A and B are shown apart, each in its own frame.
Chain A
Amino acid sequence: MANHSASHPAHVQHHFVDSDQQFDSAKLGMWVFLVNEILFFGGLFCAYIIFRAWYPELFTQAALQLDKVWGGVNTIVLIGSSLTVAMAIRSAQRNEIKGLRINLMITILLACVFLVIKYFEYEHKLHLGIAPGFFWNPAPEVTATLDHPQANIFFSIYYMMTGIHGLHVLVGIGLMIWLYIRAGKGHFSAEYYTPVEITGLYWHLVDLIWIFLFPLLYLIE
């Protein structure tokens, strides 16, 4: 039985001893989920490593089709959003709900900027027939610099890795809209901000994955 002599705030579920234990348990659960995410993306990185070991010349040629300026801009956009999500958590810890909502809104906007840039990158490539696997149908200006029988494999990996990463960004936007609405309803305070904290962890992981995707896909030449 819970110790009822201790103060028991409304947000603490009855199976936890206190607020701190509930907070730590939620965070531990999130870290276990992040381990799962790392190994999930790990399978894709593993595919990348194997194909790169098999066809090193393909990867250096194909990377030239990716625009490292836009890739770099998107990296900085995601770093900025990681910073604002960390600031959002800080605001919640200091009971500054207005600051929490402003930082969440900036994070949502930066995540949208990331996806818009990604959309234009995909659009440009698909226009040139740079499509994954079976759909590979390159325009003459592409084959002039990229002439490799396995060129479609690089782009299968590219679309799969950046696509699933993009999906994670989309999920993150959804989560942060949910946090923004809940913050507006006054659900969060310095005493209770667990959803903000663990969504922040998720968002930093999305940033971490991109930190490796950017050099491995865009900068190898």
Chain B
Amino acid sequence: MSAQEHHGHHIASVKMLWSVGIGLTILTVLTVVVSSLGLPSPLDILSALAIALAKAFLVATFFMALKWEHRFNAVLLIGAVVFFLLMVGVTLLDTMYRIEVVPSF
């Protein structure tokens, strides 16, 4: 990565920003529509999460400009998500395999 590549900041075009904004709006409407279809149990949560992840990808890539950024910033974001999943995974290993749920909870 040469210094030349990063000389001058990337300026997003109006067309691109509006396309992303409209795309996010369409995905929001889509997730509400899909949720009212009454899909069976694992499918409803999976479709909602898939759409949310697609929206998150659009925001991070274009609005947060990770596409034109030093790669290290994207590594930080992905690292945060990995550590979040680790936290959830290890916690579930405890809570899902208890003989009895703590009564007061």
Contacts and interface: CB of A to CB of B under 8 A. Distances in A.
B63 A86 contact: yes
- Chain B interface size, as a band, is 35 or more
Interface stretch (A6-14, A112-120, A161-169, A205-213): A205-213
B64 A201 contact: yes
Which of A24, A216, A219 has most chain B Cβ within 10 Å? Answer: A219
B64 A90 contact: no
A53 B92 contact: yes
B2 interface: no
B92 A50 contact: yes
Interface stretch (A29-37, A122-130, A136-144, A174-182): A29-37
B82 to A, nearest CB: 11
B99 interface: no
A81 to B, nearest CB: 10
B60 A28 contact: no
B77 A35 contact: yes
Interface of A: 20, 23-24, 27-28, 31-32, 34-35, 38-39, 42-43, 45-46, 49-51, 53-54, 68, 72, 75-76, 79-80, 82-83, 85-87, 89-90, 93-94, 150, 153, 200-201, 204-205, 207-208, 211-212, 214-216, 219-221
8 contacts: A24-B6, A31-B77, A42-B88, A46-B88, A79-B24, A86-B12, A215-B49, A221-B35
Interface of B: 6-7, 9, 11-12, 14, 17-18, 20-21, 24-25, 28-29, 31-32, 35, 38, 44-45, 48-49, 51-52, 55-56, 59-60, 63-64, 69-70, 72-73, 76-77, 79-81, 83-84, 87-88, 91-92, 95-96, 101, 105
